[in-house]
Amino acid sequence: MAMISASILNADFTCLAKTADLIETAGADAVHFDVMDGIFVDNLSFGLPVLESLRRYTALPIDVHLMIQEPLRFVERFVSAGAQYLSFHIESQSDPVQTLQAIHSHGIPAGIAVSPGTDVEKVFPLIPEMDEEDFFLMMTVEPGWGKQPFIPEVLPKIRKLSGEIRKKHRRLHIEVDGGINAETSLLCRQAGADYIVSGSYLLSAKDPAEAVRLLRGDKSDI
């Protein structure tokens, strides 16, 4: 069954504690926290002080996605601020093996994010460097902005990555993020994803708990 990580990128930042309560009550498994530096992507979001504050208001794991130019510089600080999953982009300027090792040194799962325009085979050599329960974050929109439409051309890349993980007999996960609703979640899960990030669809749902069940693929009590 898929893990559901609820993105707060488009939440009302004046009441994140209430948003965290909504996410927890809905039955999501984690809070997805997007960090943007205005350099790697053409947008700014929130950083360490907001993460520290959010950490006090939720018992859920916080899934931090670094869309920043030099993630290696900030690994220790984001872990200290509350990250319990930490992903960085293969397209960033930091050495990916060193960044994986830095995250692993703190005992939490590491993720390698892949933008839609990047050849997924670029991350294949890194599979042996990853620990069990690490993950790849396949972006299904261009990183940097919420409320974008899902890019279906990423689905074959997810299938290809899933096949390579199985071929290497590794227990790694595939997360998807961008334009995810009940329909696109199903497509991604069928392609091999088992971590699902959803923001606007989940947070704006009339029944967020039902939205979580649909995203997860659990229809047993609907």
At 46, the amino acid letter reads: F
Q: 3-216: what CATH class?
A: alpha beta
**Cα distance between residue 158 and residue 150, in whole Å:** 14
At 59, the amino acid letter reads: A
Q: What is the pLDDT of residue 1?
A: 83
Domain boundaries, the chain: 3-216
Q: Is 221 assigned a catalytic role?
A: no
- Interval 177-205 mean pLDDT: 97
Q: Which H helix or E strand runs over 208?
A: helix 208-216
Residue 103 CA: distances (Å) to CA of 33, 80, 88, 121, 171? 16, 11, 10, 22, 18
Percent of the chain exceeding pLDDT 90 equals 91
| 218 pLDDT tier (thresholds 50, 70, 90) | confident
- Of residues 16 and 172, more confidence is placed in 172
Q: Kindly report the average pLDDT of the chain as a whole number.
A: 95
Per annotation, catalytic residue among 29, 34, 63, 134: 34
| Residue 68, pLDDT above cutoff 80 | yes
Q: What is the pLDDT of residue 222?
A: 37
| Residue 221, pLDDT above cutoff 50 | no
Per annotation, catalytic residue among 12, 134, 177, 194: 177
Q: What is the pLDDT of residue 148?
A: 86
| Residue 145, pLDDT above cutoff 90 | no
8 Å CB contact between 215 and 26: no
| Predicted TM-score (pTM) of this structure | 0.96
Q: Is 12 assigned a catalytic role?
A: no
Question: For residue range 7-56, what is the model confidence (pLDDT) as tens digits?
Answer: 999 898 889 999 999 999 999 999 999 999 999 999 999 999 999 999 99
- Interval 62-91 mean pLDDT: 98
Q: 145 burial class (0-12, 13-18, 19+ CB within 10 angstroms)? A: middle
- Interval 144-164 mean pLDDT: 94
Question: For residue range 112-125, what is the model confidence (pLDDT) as tens digits?
Answer: 999 999 999 999 99
